[in-house]
């Protein structure tokens, strides 16, 4: 009995030791997992902070370049200046790619809030020049003309523009907002993002990708398209300013022949236009929508580490009087 009792005690002790070993192994595994998670979290936060710091440095460099290149307000901007050159930095820890783009290579829908600045006044019953341009750009994006007119009316109601004597179209557009599920009311203020077009009752979402390259929402009520910053891919916008009288192919050829340092003035652009296409581009109102200088710019930055990718978008404004650039909007999102 004595011997059997001792064997049982040894068996129980061995079982207890095994249980303790299992518990210790589980505890060690959990500690290891927690340590790994904490380490990954710290690495992620450090990487994120590093990319944010370096992205901010890229923006500051862009601000300096803009201030240097465009210090003279009378000097035209062009894509061969230093502000338009990409920035690329690669180290053992991260890679950063940054590029400044002219934000005035689109038609600003907020300009509808200002009186039509075209050189000719519309006849009674005739559409204003701004309406003609916006509707033309919509049709260029694949929207039929009837829908484009409806969308323009909804857009003016959304912006809170007084429809004047034509209340029927405004009432119809307002009713379209109320008929949505759930019902909505127009913002009645300028757009902060061109993506707000998707809030219009009749907007075809499938056309957004193309239309968002032609229209934009800048924080002012002017439309001045910088013809020196347009690329050949943006020729449809230039064509739209002439209501199609100058075709997209014509506009593309015109842009391809642009001087490396850009056109000195809109008059210089006109001279080249008349030389290349003497019987086209007679729409004089287009001049009021064109410029060779810009005040708005956008910086797109992508930062990468082994653990994540961040994309930053910074909007810059170049003051007309002081010629100093400043950042007025900053956004970023994590890709991985």
pTM for the whole structure:
0.85
Q: Phi and psi at residue 69, in whole multiples of 5°?
A: -70, -35
Percent of the chain with pLDDT over 70: 92
User: Is the pLDDT reported for residue 20 higher than 60?
Assistant: yes
Beta bridge partners of 316: 297, 327
Which pLDDT does position 2 carry in this prediction? 66
User: Is the pLDDT reported for residue 165 higher than 70?
Assistant: no
Q: Please tell me the distance from the alpha carbon of residue 49 to that of residue 44, in angstroms, as a whole number.
A: 9
* Mean pLDDT in residue range 167-187: 87
Paired tokens of 143: 């929207």
Q: pLDDT per residue over 243-256, tens digit each? A: 999 999 999 999 99
DSSP secondary structure letter of residue 234: G
Which pLDDT does position 104 carry in this prediction? 97
Which run of H or E residues covers position 58? Answer: helix 2-69
* Mean pLDDT in residue range 157-174: 79
Contacts of 48 (CB under 8 A, 6+ apart): 308, 310, 334
Paired tokens of 147: 């829908």
Which SS3 state, helix, strand or coil, does residue 89 take?
strand
Q: pLDDT per residue over 21-76, tens digit each? A: 888 888 888 888 888 888 888 888 898 999 999 999 999 999 999 999 999 888 89
When comparing pLDDT for 286 and 1, which is higher?
286
User: Is the pLDDT reported for residue 163 higher than 70?
Assistant: no
Q: Please tell me the distance from the alpha carbon of residue 332 to that of residue 310, in angstroms, as a whole number.
A: 7
Binning pLDDT at 50, 70 and 90, where does residue 12 land? confident
Which pLDDT does position 13 carry in this prediction? 79
Which SS3 state, helix, strand or coil, does residue 87 take?
strand
Q: pLDDT per residue over 284-332, tens digit each? A: 788 999 999 999 999 999 999 988 999 999 999 999 999 999 999 999 8
Arithmetic mean of pLDDT over the chain: 89
Which pLDDT does position 16 carry in this prediction? 82
Contact indicator for 151, 203 with CB cutoff of 8 Å = yes
User: Is the pLDDT reported for residue 124 higher than 90?
Assistant: no
Contact indicator for 189, 160 with CB cutoff of 8 Å = yes
Distances (CA, A) of 99 to 88, 94, 96, 104, 319: 9, 17, 10, 15, 20
Q: Note the helical H segments in 248-321.
A: 248-256, 266-276
Binning pLDDT at 50, 70 and 90, where does residue 18 land? confident
Distances (CA, A) of 45 to 1, 41, 56, 313: 65, 6, 16, 20
Which pLDDT does position 142 carry in this prediction? 94
User: Is the pLDDT reported for residue 116 higher than 90?
Assistant: no
Binning pLDDT at 50, 70 and 90, where does residue 77 land? very high
Q: pLDDT per residue over 185-203, tens digit each? A: 999 999 999 999 999 999 9
- Per the listing, tokens 């509808």 go with 112
Q: List domains and CATH numbers for the chain.
A: 47-103+295-335 (3.30.1300.30), 119-214 (1.10.40.60), 226-293 (1.10.40.60)
Contacts of 221 (CB under 8 A, 6+ apart): 108, 110, 111, 113, 114, 190
Percent of the chain with pLDDT over 90: 66
Contact indicator for 254, 272 with CB cutoff of 8 Å = yes
* Mean pLDDT in residue range 163-190: 84
Paired tokens of 263: 């056109």
């Amino acid at each position: 009995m004595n011997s059997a009792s001792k064997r049982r005690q040894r068996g129980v002790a061995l079982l207890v030791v095994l249980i303790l070993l299992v518990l210790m192994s589980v505890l060690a595994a959990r500690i290891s997992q927690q340590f790994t998670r904490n380490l990954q979290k710290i690495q992620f936060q450090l990487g994120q902070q590093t990319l944010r710091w370096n992205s901010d440095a890229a923006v500051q460099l862009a601000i300096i370049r803009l201030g240097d290149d465009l210090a003279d307000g009378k000097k035209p901007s062009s894509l061969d200046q230093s502000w338009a050159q990409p920035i690329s930095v690669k180290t053992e820890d991260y890679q950063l790619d940054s590029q400044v783009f002219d934000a005035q290579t689109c038609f600003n829908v907020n300009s509808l809030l200002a009186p039509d600045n075209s050189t000719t006044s519309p006849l009674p019953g005739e559409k204003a020049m701004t309406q003609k341009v916006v509707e033309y750009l919509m049709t260029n994006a694949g929207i039929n003309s009837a829908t484009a007119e409806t969308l323009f009316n909804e857009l003016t109601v959304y912006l809170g523009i007084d429809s004047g004597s034509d209340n029927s179209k405004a009432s119809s557009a307002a009713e379209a907002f109320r008929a949505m599920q759930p019902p909505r009311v127009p913002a009645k203020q300028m757009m902060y993002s061109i993506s707000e077009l998707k809030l219009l009752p009749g907007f075809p979402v499938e056309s957004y990708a193309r239309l968002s390259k032609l229209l934009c929402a800048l924080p002012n009520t002017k439309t001045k398209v910088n013809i020196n910053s347009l690329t050949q891919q943006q020729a449809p916008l230039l064509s739209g300013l002439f209501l199609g009288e100058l075709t997209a192919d014509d506009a593309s050829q015109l842009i391809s022949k642009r001087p490396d340092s850009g056109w000195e003035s809109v008059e210089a652009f006109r001279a080249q236009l008349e030389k290349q296409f003497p019987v086209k581009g007679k729409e004089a109102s287009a001049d009021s929508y064109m410029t060779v200088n810009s005040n708005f710019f956008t910086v797109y930055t992508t930062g990468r580490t082994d653990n994540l990718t961040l994309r930053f978008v910074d909007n810059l404004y170049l003051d007309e009087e002081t010629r100093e650039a400043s950042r007025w909007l900053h956004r970023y999102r994590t890709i991985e």
